Structure 1
């Protein structure tokens, strides 16, 4: 996640205020839920539990039952059999897979959705403004929904679901579909914050980014049944993607840099090289760090007076094709253990 995404989310929470999580800590559960639509058995004997502050990601091919399961959780469909238990006064927020091109501008649609939910005008106005800024909606806020691209329409769809703020159950059907990269990052950062606030999140999604950074469970659906369940430990076995950072750090004592390298567990490897250019000599540092530590390490580099030349994330190690077929998340992408616990010092030796 980039620094800009984090700061935008922080501003949103500073302005809107943090909603208190449900103190009862009750679990939302489905037991033996089945559902038939016309002549098709779309869900068959589904068991599911969602704790506070937990994110469950549903994966599966088209027709596997993901959207139907979300609709059952939302109360839009009633199970034919089995039970659904959730807090009586729990708040539900839902973003469908695709928003209809209704005859409203984005602002008009969001305003009406907020008023339907009973949001006070001053709070609603503030949330629309903040979330529009967060997702880079820009001038599209006053354009007709029928004129918007798929990605921009998805932003409006997400804003209407997110307007009430953290707490309760958030249901998202392919939330990152069609979004530009900055908006994807902003959504993931925001959802991570909502998890900390106690929100329960269930999302159908095929993007490794969301799974790696948010998922506590991944449930693989196949023709309406649960094919596999994977927990966070299973996902971690795929290996966390790394980020390559190139920086310039000059005029600092070696001890400062050594401390940065030795004491931060997120550093996988680093190398210093001296580059001679027309305007002088530069010390260029190439870092390889875990993705979860990248923002912090960038901040540390800047804090010691360095500058960032480039940041390049590696591709995800999650095999989504294998995951949807029920194979272990790390089965096709074993962890690279050759350099995880070592870091090259500026002089070429290993730092212990």
Structure 2
């Protein structure tokens, strides 16, 4: 699949949101596009998915089975997670029974919490994101387009998504995703490109993110501090746990899991005093 000299303007004569972008997407690869909010990442994905026509340029070789995770589901979604996946499965050509079975399997794998028969609008951001991911995977897509797929996910589901990316790569699926934190995609992507002022540049994989992070925490006063440290040590991506001279807990975390670990320690009620790139001792 190839995006050839793609440019997009929102208004005639207005500035280019995307400016002469050429991007090759091979089967069995994961391509990540990083950039700040408003950089045009979502517009690029919509062009790749065929949801928006470029102002100039073309998209060639787009597979016919596409899974798409938007930046967010509609805020007033009245369908339940179960009903939505059943509907989307039938839209994608699955029989009713197959859509129901496959939807349930995906929700179980992604670890959805809450009532799957309640309106999606009542779910948390993370659980709504799990529903969006499930609908994209329903029909066995050959092209997966994911707009900041890790947004709102807990540590467990963060790792499930990493595992899914490896499986899709092995199955020859074309994966194009966006993220605003390079460290999140460093271990999963075959190529990382940065979008800035409408232009796309490839980043050297070795420079996309540090190998790990040193995270210093303050934890609530508890009787069994060793149990707290053991729980932190069990988090996916945590390489080591120790204490500094101020009795603050210090973690060494892999770059590919850093965001998920931070989200989880905050959820557990810990305070984050410092995050530094690279491995080594703590201050």
Q: Which runs of 5 or more structure 2 residues have no equivalent in the other structure?
A: 215-236, 240-250, 260-275
Question: 1:125 and 2:100 equivalent?
Answer: yes
Aligned residue in 1 for 2:91: 116
Q: In 2, Cα distance between the equivalents of 1:319 and 1:63?
A: 24
Q: Which runs of 5 or more structure 1 residues have no equivalent in the other structure?
A: 1-27, 244-290, 295-311, 321-331, 337-352
**Cα pair distance change 1:153/1:319, threshold 3 Å:** closer
How far 1:115 moved relative to its partner?
0.9
How far 1:137 moved relative to its partner?
1.2
Match of 2:43 among 58, 61, 68: 68
How far 1:29 moved relative to its partner?
0.4
Match of 1:83 among 40, 58, 63: 58
SS of 1:142's equivalent in the other structure is coil
How far 1:208 moved relative to its partner?
4.6
Root-mean-square deviation over aligned CA pairs: 3.1
Where in structure 2 are the equivalents of 1:242-261 lying within 5 Å?
A: none
SS of 1:314's equivalent in the other structure is strand
Where in structure 1 do 4 or more consecutive aligned residues deviate above 6 Å?
317-320
- The alignment's TM-score, normalised by the length of structure 1, stands at 0.59
Q: In 2, Cα distance between the equivalents of 1:47 and 1:29?
A: 7
Match of 2:143 among 169, 177, 192: 169
Question: 1:179 and 2:153 equivalent?
Answer: yes
Where in structure 2 are the equivalents of 1:303-314 lying within 5 Å?
A: 314=253
Q: In 1, Cα distance between the equivalents of 2:162 and 2:256?
A: 18
Q: In 2, Cα distance between the equivalents of 1:120 and 1:36?
A: 40
Question: 1:212 and 2:200 equivalent?
Answer: no
Contact 2:81 2:131 in 1 (8 A): yes
Number of equivalent positions = 231
* Cα-to-partner distance string for 1:256-293 (whole Å, 9 max, x where unaligned): xxxxxxxxxxxxxxxxxxxxxxxxxxxxxxxxxxx6xx
**Cα pair distance change 1:319/1:159, threshold 3 Å:** closer
- The alignment's TM-score, normalised by the length of structure 2, stands at 0.73
Contact 1:174 1:204 in 2 (8 A): yes
Question: 1:34 and 2:7 equivalent?
Answer: yes
How far 1:93 moved relative to its partner?
0.8
Contact 1:188 1:210 in 2 (8 A): no
**Cα pair distance change 1:103/1:317, threshold 3 Å:** closer
Which entry has the higher C-alpha Rg, 1 or 2? 1
Q: In 1, Cα distance between the equivalents of 2:256 and 2:101?
A: 39
